[in-house]
Structure 1
Amino acid sequence: MQSLDHLNPFTDLALEATAAARGDAKTEVPGVIMEEKKYEHATVSWVRVVDPVGEQLIGKPMGNYITIEAPQLRRRNRELQEQVGKVLVEQLDQLLDLKENDTVLVVGLGNWNATPDALGPRVTGKLLVTRHLRDYVPADVAGGLRAVAAIAPGVLGTTGIETAEVIHGIVERIKPAAVICIDALAARSVERIGTTIQIADTGIQPGGGIGNRRQALNKETLGVPVIAIGVPTVVHATTIVQDAFEAMASSFAETKPFFQLFRSPESRRKLLSDVLSPTVGELVVTPKEIDELTEDLAKLIAGSLNAVLHTSVTAQDLLRYIN
């Protein structure tokens, strides 16, 4: 039977990858620096991969990864969404170094026909797009609007064109100062679906979380800084199975003969590899309320980007986009 490598499933989140590398002993990971700050409704964690050793240990490129965790987001509380939106604006301001006349390209990655993968296209549909307007609006208004272009290029299966090819052509044509990519992510924990936002200055590899690795979108491939914003919308089915088995093994290892045979992590992984078929290993799952979660997060991210990219967008405008 085929070995299932995803019994330790891939995660798009640097925070989860770092936690896995630290292990139960919570030791420091060489080449990785972690910091944390708590807000009223959210926790912000910074993971900085500073050398090739850290890059190899957690499987993430060198750079900065900011994770905003707000477990109550799934309750669709307006006040909480407003507070998380402001935190997102604050963190984006730290990564983006833009001048007034810079052009920014926002890319909504994903398949708009598949709800768990539709976050990127939904965000681009709610953005204040202005690149085509700056030559026609009054000077006093134009000063508060940065030139923003947006595109949702679709996926290879529906367009027959690699996303990287599309974006590379647009970047060559309009020459933006930065590219911001929005995408749905895969997480290691079910609790992170719809409650966690990751921002990274290392770019993104579309489809990486579910094993469909496409050409990376980063500064090396596009020639300009690439900021990635993502939200977990799926987890691997094997994650749920593995977590349940680990919980049972921990609870019954001393009393049930069956679990006494599988005390070591290696023996448990081998058992699951033998039991789970390759089909189950490829399965990803998402909650039934994913449509509402995706819509709420698309509004939150779009509103935050509008506030960051346009100085004329006020806090009240940000809240309007969240509604």
Structure 2
Amino acid sequence: MRDQLKLSMELKAILASDDLNNFKQAKVRRGGVYGKEKKTILHQAAKYCQNIDIPCYCVYKLKVNPSTKTRKSSSTALHYACIYGRLKLVEFLVSSCKVPVDVQRKHGQTPLLLAVQHNYTELAEFLISKGADLYAKDSEDWSLAHWAARNGNSDLLSKLIKAGAPFHGVTKNSEHCLHMAAWSGNVDVVKTLFSLFYPFACGGKGTVLHYAKGNWEIVEWIIANTIWQKMPRLSILLDIGATSDLIVQYCKEEINLGVVLLYDRADLLEILYVNKKIQIQFLIRERLGPKCARKIKTLERWENVRGLLFVYKTAKPIYAKVPLCIAREISEYI
């Protein structure tokens, strides 16, 4: 049974420095594994080393098997190299050490899937050139195209599709690439993919607009340029917390008091008030959320201040004589 070791700070620093001479002097124990995961020194080198001098020494001098897998995640050094973007090490392990290019870890992830997941375009291209499986999926059915779209990497996504990687599949959460593109925040990827998918398909989080939450440029593009412009969308925009400006611009005719109160949108309540769509006295007995309740109190004060202002105006004193406290209230609405 191999000894289980703890990676010291000193050895970690030597690996990170890529200093082979210091590494030789460290007297690394042959056959030793590190931590509960039982990583070999080659796994550690894949994580910390930028160059391949130390990994080569581990393979050729320390006789570390490059195909050895860790205990829990079943990861080889090749998996680690793909996670940390070590292109030279990946080339060495695949070309010189003959580690299988499609070796899987615990959740079905291949080296190519990990490279795409961690957004390493050049590394992914190398693995594709070595015949890596373009149909690879993990245990949640995330494909190469899903990860490229999620990262907003239009260049890599285009190369994967051109190489023959499938892109119409869905994850176990019913998400397709368009959902991931909207989630990424890259409007160009959304534009590229939108015509390729059913625009109203829902994933675990909802519609493509739900996945674009917070990415208002994407939300606005979808509403303004696709079939979504013909669909009711107020409730969705309220679901994702869209700004009042966006809602007024694209859902002006849909705004109604019931939906505004349901979502507790004080900003929209004030817009209805300013446009004389509601009267404060009829809202006192409504069931209000905390934000709308505070806004109603503010508007009630304004109603009172407006009445006092009318009295001051008709009584003919100049506005300079309006009490400071009332002037402050007025200034909030000017």
Bin for the TM-score computed over the shorter chain: under 0.3
Higher-helix-fraction structure: 2
Higher-strand-fraction structure: 1
**TM-score, length of structure 2 as denominator length:** 0.18
By relative contact order (CA 8 Å, sep 6+), the higher-ranking structure is 1
* Higher Rg of the two aligned structures: 2
